[in-house]
């Protein structure tokens, strides 16, 4: 019995160690759905060393000041909620990541830094399909 308990404790510890970064990354994940309301000071941008912070901030200000793009993300959040409700009620599996990617890819090229950051965050969790879709959209 003691051996069993020690194995379970070890598994729990390993699980906690592996997933501690998700908590740190939570604001970045929220950014995917809510860039219009997200406080950029709360984002952990050290993952994006390639990025010029000033460009990111200017693009985010532009996005937040445009009612059209704010509405797109409001609509996206509603769609994600509907996808989740459908998944729970009817076991219909539709990937919300694909919808998130569509909205981000629809942003104009003047938001290229924002798009790359969003695609980078999404690629951590996304299927190969979403990653491939992202590449195809960038090539267009």
pLDDT attached to residue 76: 96
Its pTM stands at: 0.71
pLDDT attached to residue 103: 95
User: 46 near 80, Cβ under 8 Å?
Assistant: no
pLDDT attached to residue 75: 96
pLDDT attached to residue 57: 93
pLDDT attached to residue 80: 93
Measured distance CA(3)–CA(110) in Å, rounded: 59
pLDDT attached to residue 132: 47
pLDDT attached to residue 56: 93
Per-residue pLDDT of the chain (140 residues; tens, 9 = 90+): 778 888 888 988 888 777 776 777 888 889 999 999 988 888 888 878 888 999 999 999 999 999 999 999 999 999 999 998 888 888 777 778 889 989 999 999 999 999 999 988 888 765 544 454 555 455 55
Work out the burial of residue 3: count CB atoms within 10 Å of its CB; fewer than 13 is exposed, 13-18 middle, 19 or more buried. Answer: exposed
């Amino acid at each position: 019995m003691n051996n069993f308990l020690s194995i379970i404790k070890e598994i729990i510890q390993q699980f906690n160690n592996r997933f501690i970064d998700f908590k740190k990354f939570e604001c970045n994940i929220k950014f995917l759905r809510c860039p219009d309301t997200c406080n950029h000071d709360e984002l952990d941008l050290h993952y994006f060393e390639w990025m010029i912070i000033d460009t990111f901030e200017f693009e985010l200000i532009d996005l937040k000041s445009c009612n059209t793009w704010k509405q797109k993300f409001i609509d996206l959040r509603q769609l994600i909620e509907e996808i989740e409700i459908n998944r729970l009620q009817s076991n219909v599996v539709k990937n919300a990541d694909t919808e998130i990617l569509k909205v981000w890819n629809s942003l104009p090229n003047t938001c290229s830094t924002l798009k790359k950051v969003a695609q980078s965050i999404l690629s951590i969790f996304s299927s190969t399909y979403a990653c491939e879709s992202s590449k195809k959209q960038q090539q267009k």
